[in-house]
Amino acid sequence: MRVEDNEKSGNVWPWLGAIAAAAALLWFGKNEPPANAPTATPRPTPATAPLSTSPAAATSPPNAPSPNGGARPFAVAQDERVAFPIITNPSPEATDEEKSRWVGAAVCGECHAENWKSALHSAHYNTSRFASGDSLLGDYHAPGNRMGTGDPALSFEMLEDAGRFFQSAVQNGRESHRATIDLILGSGKMAQTYATWVKDALFELPVTYYTTARSWVYSPGYMDGQAFFARPVNSGCLDCHTTGYIPESEGEKNHRFKSRHIVPGVTCERCHGEGAQHVQHHRTHPTDKQAKHILDPRKLPAAKRDMLCSQCHGGVNTEDGGTDKVGAHSNNQLQRLSLSACFTRSESLHCTDCHNPHRKERGDKKLFARRCQTCHEIDDCNAVTPDRREHFADNCAQCHMPRQQMVDIDFRTTTGQVVSGFTGGDGVNIPEIVDHHIRVVRSDKTAPPSPDR
């Protein structure tokens, strides 16, 4: 959810220059509609914590529809170092027709129980969730619930109160603003970032839980000393972190969602299409064994199947038709795979030849090695000595898909930037990611890694 520092992206960074003022309006321009802008099934919507009522806080004029049809502007109020959004005019309520298009994964599980039950544990399914005591990571009680900053007068506290969870900004020992944690973004393998509702507008919270270090850090895009609660979570973010939503307006910079309707996680209907018509047909025609009104990706040509995955794993398109991701990242794995001889020399290789989207397979090195060996013979590997061959027979990716730094995602702490794959000044380490550019990695200076690495 990086917000680029230019006008075209509809970025919120201009607040940095205006934060000294008591209030500011942030405007977000119109963008082209996303490739897939689904709608959502009603889900429980936690109430939003009250906005700060500190005398120091100031507000700007009420919201008005954007003149260019893009995301509506909103006011930002300031209480000393803390800034937070003011939303006055809610979106129209979602219609019954909008709400009913998506049935939810549990309904799919009525007939597809095995796939549904196994998918519950996958990173896709858990890439966004509603906040609860069971889904949140991190400590919400002292002393592990506090994150200091480089400004000794500013800190954050993560709190639990009557079964609800909050992030709070504290200035000089005084709580200045408290926001509910309503939505979790991220499966938790690397981290969990959080979002809060302010009426029907969704905003990123400034503190993230970093799983590997078991600590609180600034959310991606935030810098030390910021207490900014007004960074929108827009449709472009939810396209790859949810199954569906009901936007107030088209365009990936929209951050307002009718009736707060979001279907969390990347679940069945994100890849197979909206399920309402499919479910209705087969409930009224239970003997019909031919799937109707639903997409079966197995029946698509490989290139079209890849298009499904590429919506979130194919890189970010640029104006010249290329992509702006040059290293390893979770959203450009297909781009990296396309550089591989395995891909260019095959007419049918597809993402699901190696990955089962209905299963949690991460970390199962033997499983992935067996899939490599449906095309490759282990005896063809001459890079290791015979006594090490057995180990590498179960671990092809260690040499041929080396782990690399995660690009575009960084976290900042009170001691500076934490760089992916390296130890930062505070000793925190961000996990690397498997590079999907499959190749023979040769280096005169680097021997094959030892089996215990």
Identify the pLDDT of residue 67.
37
Q: Which of the 8 DSSP states describes residue 171? A: E
Q: Which of 16, 6, 24, 40 is nearest to 235 (CA)?
A: 40
Position 301: which residue type? P
Identify the pLDDT of residue 54.
33
Position 141: which residue type? H
Per-residue pLDDT of the chain (453 residues; tens, 9 = 90+): 333 333 333 343 333 333 333 333 333 333 332 333 333 333 333 333 333 333 333 443 333 334 334 577 899 999 999 999 999 988 899 999 999 999 999 999 999 999 999 999 999 999 999 999 999 999 999 999 999 998 999 999 999 999 999 999 999 999 999 999 999 999 998 899 999 999 999 999 999 998 878 889 999 878 888 899 999 999 999 999 999 999 999 888 899 999 999 999 999 999 999 999 999 999 999 999 999 999 999 998 888 888 889 888 887 654 444 444 445 556 778 888 888 998 888 877 888 889 999 999 988 989 999 999 888 888 777 766 777 777 778 888 888 988 876 655 666 665 554 544 334 444 444 557 888 889 887 654 444 444 443
63 in Cβ contact with 73 (< 8 Å): yes
Identify the pLDDT of residue 49.
36
Identify the pLDDT of residue 98.
95
Identify the pLDDT of residue 118.
95
Biggest distance spanned by C-alpha atoms of the chain: 74
DSSP for 44-113? Answer: --PPPPPPP--TT----PPP---TTSSSPPEEEEEETTEEEEE--SPPPPPPHHHHTT---HHHHTTT-H
pTM score, whole prediction: 0.78
Identify the pLDDT of residue 384.
67
Identify the pLDDT of residue 105.
96
Identify the pLDDT of residue 26.
35
Structure tokens belonging to residue 47: 């109430």
**CA 327 centroid distance within chain:** 18
